[in-house]
């Protein structure tokens, strides 16, 4: 049994959905369960619609215009991919969901504000619609394929932290097994929406941005899948963000720790949440390209994320970066004093891993804060130890590899490369990974794309088509 997850970019038009149907059909012998995101841009449009409704009568026409646009978009795609015999069921489903969505929007308008709870209720329609449409498109009883729809709100139980709900595994796993396994055993292909769940009391929640990958891993872990496949629009995890670095190459294998470190350091894929359930259940994750599945030659290999592969050649796996970082300088009053450094380090320990040490002298300690969200608290804590200066507009560049721990030569080589950036980026070094060994450096936000491109070129050279082992 495998879990196949398709992202918004894989279900954005009738031809993409046909392609997805083809990919799923080609893997029927592996007993797939399908998890799907909302169709491209739908979540954003739904939330824009709710925002317009919350801002008052004057904006209601805009809310209704978005609603109509969403209706037309889903109606057209769905009619193109569902066989005419299924159109009756399809139209009833679309009417029901758009009726319910309209009620939600009216409630938001009446409240005059968009609560986190209402935002989740509105956003959930993206996955409810895409999963229902995909299930109808896959369902071809005349070809012997049945694709029952599973309501994600019935199987993924979460707490009530709306917009970033946490799964409650003890309740979710038995529900998932009960809902999916009988279908899988009977040769059917269940389809479920990602990203969305509900509390024990049935109130709709979402797992947060890009949460469908996370849902797929939760399903895979609950069902003990052979593999969770995340189908997207690139060949796999890449050695750098392919939108910034043209020569980025596909990585063949990553350990769970390396993937988690990358996901937390700015790589868009996979969602950081996927690694927890997958590694706990020891279910590998494979990232694959739904635009180039190489169906004729068996699927492309993509990137396999799993247990560490001891046979792989040692080297850096990927370079990634995250903007919106801050450089925090703490100067000890009266030239430091005996307790100064340990006081600063105590604050670092408390706010780990948000706060990383860059450089520590007797009178001055330089730190990097990877995200702005705890700046206020951290600044207050550091003010107790000395004079604090904060420079925003920084980026943290991260190079990840398990091999950095065992191979001092590799680390030395990377440090030399970073040193050579000095003219361009004025980098400052931060070591220490959270999930896997890595080397980080802090550079200004504007110079980050250049710094990443340069480091990438030095490490991976110009062999774009060639995968990195």
Contact residues toward ligand ADP (CB under 6 A) are 7-10, 37, 210, 232-234, 237-238, 240-243, 267-269, 318, 320
Count of CB atoms situated within 10 Å of the CB of 309: 14
- What is the DSSP track for 39-89? STTHHHHHHHHHHHHHT-GGGHHHHHHHHHHHHHHHHHHHHHHS-GGGHHH
Task: Using CB positions, name the residue nearest to Mg ion.
Answer: 7
Give strand ranges (E) for 297-350: 303-306, 318-331
Binding site partner of 279, from ligand ADP, Mg ion, none, Cβ cut-off 5-8 A by kind: none
- Closer CB to Mg ion, residue 11 or residue 179? 11
Do 396 and 438 meet the contact criterion of CB atoms below 8 Å apart? no
**Whether the bond into 270 is cis, omega within 30 of 0:** yes
- Closer CB to Mg ion, residue 233 or residue 359? 233
- Closer CB to ligand ADP, residue 237 or residue 451? 237
Q: Least distance to ligand ADP from the beta carbon of 466, Å?
A: 16
Count of CB atoms situated within 10 Å of the CB of 440: 27
- Closer CB to ligand ADP, residue 109 or residue 237? 237
Give strand ranges (E) for 201-298: 204-206, 227-232, 253-255, 285-289
Binding site partner of 241, from Mg ion, ligand ADP, none, Cβ cut-off 5-8 A by kind: ligand ADP
Task: Using CB positions, name the residue nearest to ligand ADP.
Answer: 7
Q: Least distance to Mg ion from the beta carbon of 8, Å?
A: 5
Binding site partner of 109, from ligand ADP, Mg ion, none, Cβ cut-off 5-8 A by kind: none
Closest CA to 440 of 408, 406, 394: 394
- Closer CB to ligand ADP, residue 83 or residue 469? 469
Q: Least distance to ligand ADP from the beta carbon of 270, Å?
A: 9
- Closer CB to ligand ADP, residue 42 or residue 279? 42
Q: 30 CB contacts (<8 Å, ≥6 apart)?
A: 1, 2, 226
Binding site partner of 238, from Mg ion, ligand ADP, none, Cβ cut-off 5-8 A by kind: ligand ADP
Q: Least distance to ligand ADP from the beta carbon of 213, Å?
A: 7
Beta pairing, strands 387-400 & 428-431: unpaired
Binding site partner of 237, from Mg ion, ligand ADP, none, Cβ cut-off 5-8 A by kind: ligand ADP
DSSP single-letter state for residue 386: S
Element (H, E) at 369: strand 364-369
Q: Least distance to Mg ion from the beta carbon of 51, Å?
A: 21
Applying CB under 5 A, the residues found at the interface with Mg ion are 7, 210
Q: Least distance to Mg ion from the beta carbon of 23, Å?
A: 17
Angle formed by the axes of helices 60-81 and 14-26, nearest 10°: 50
């Amino acid at each position: 049994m495998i879990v196949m997850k398709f992202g918004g970019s894989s279900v954005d038009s009738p031809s993409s959905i046909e392609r997805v149907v083809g990919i799923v059909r080609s893997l029927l012998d592996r007993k797939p369960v399908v998890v799907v995101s909302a169709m491209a841009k739908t979540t954003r449009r739904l939330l824009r619609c709710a925002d317009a409704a919350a801002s008052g009568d004057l904006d209601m026409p805009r809310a209704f215009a978005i609603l109509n646009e969403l209706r037309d978009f889903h109606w057209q795609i769905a009619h193109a991919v569902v066989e005419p015999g299924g159109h009756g069921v399809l139209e009833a489903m679309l009417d029901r969901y758009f009726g319910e969505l309209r009620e939600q929007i009216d409630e938001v308008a009446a409240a005059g504000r968009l609560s986190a709870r209402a935002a989740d209720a509105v956003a959930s329609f993206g996955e409810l619609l895409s999963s229902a449409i995909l299930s109808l498109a896959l369902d071809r009883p005349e070809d012997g394929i049945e694709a029952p729809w599973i309501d994600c709100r019935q199987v993924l139980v979460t707490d009530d932290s709306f917009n970033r709900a946490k799964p409650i595994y003890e309740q979710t796993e038995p529900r998932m097994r009960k809902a999916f396994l009988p279908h899988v055993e009977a040769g059917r292909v269940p389809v479920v929406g990602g990203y969305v769940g509900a509390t024990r009391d049935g109130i709709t929640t979402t797992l947060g941005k890009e949460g469908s990958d996370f849902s797929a891993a939760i399903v895979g872990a609950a069902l003990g899948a052979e593999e969770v496949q995340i189908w997207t629009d690139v060949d796999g995890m890449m050695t750098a963000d392919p939108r910034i670095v043209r020569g980025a190459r596909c990585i063949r294998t990553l350990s769970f720790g390396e993937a988690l470190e990358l996901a937390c350091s700015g790589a868009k894929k996979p969602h950081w949440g996927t690694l927890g359930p997958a590694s706990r259940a020891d279910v590998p994750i494979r990232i694959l390209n739904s635009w180039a599945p190489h169906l004729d030659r068996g699927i492309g290999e993509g990137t396999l994320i799993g247990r560490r592969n001891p046979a792989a050649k040692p080297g850096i796996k990927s370079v990634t970066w995250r903007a919106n970082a801050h450089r925090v300088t703490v100067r000890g009053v009266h030239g430091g004093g005996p307790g100064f450094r340990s006081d600063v380090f105590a604050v670092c320990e408390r706010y780990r891993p948000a706060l990383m040490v860059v450089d520590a002298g007797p009178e001055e300690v330089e730190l990097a804060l990877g995200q702005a969200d705890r700046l206020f608290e951290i600044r207050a804590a550091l003010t107790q130890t000395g004079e604090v200066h904060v420079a925003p507009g920084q980026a943290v560049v991260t190079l990840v590899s398990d091999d950095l721990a065992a191979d001092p030569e590799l680390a030395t080589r990377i440090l030399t490369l970073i040193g050579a950036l000095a003219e361009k980026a004025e980098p400052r070094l931060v070591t220490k990974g959270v999930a896997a060994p890595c080397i980080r450096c802090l550079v200004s936000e504007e110079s980050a794309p250049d710094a990443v491109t340069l480091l990438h070129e030095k490490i991976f050279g110009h062999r774009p088509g060639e995968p990195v082992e």
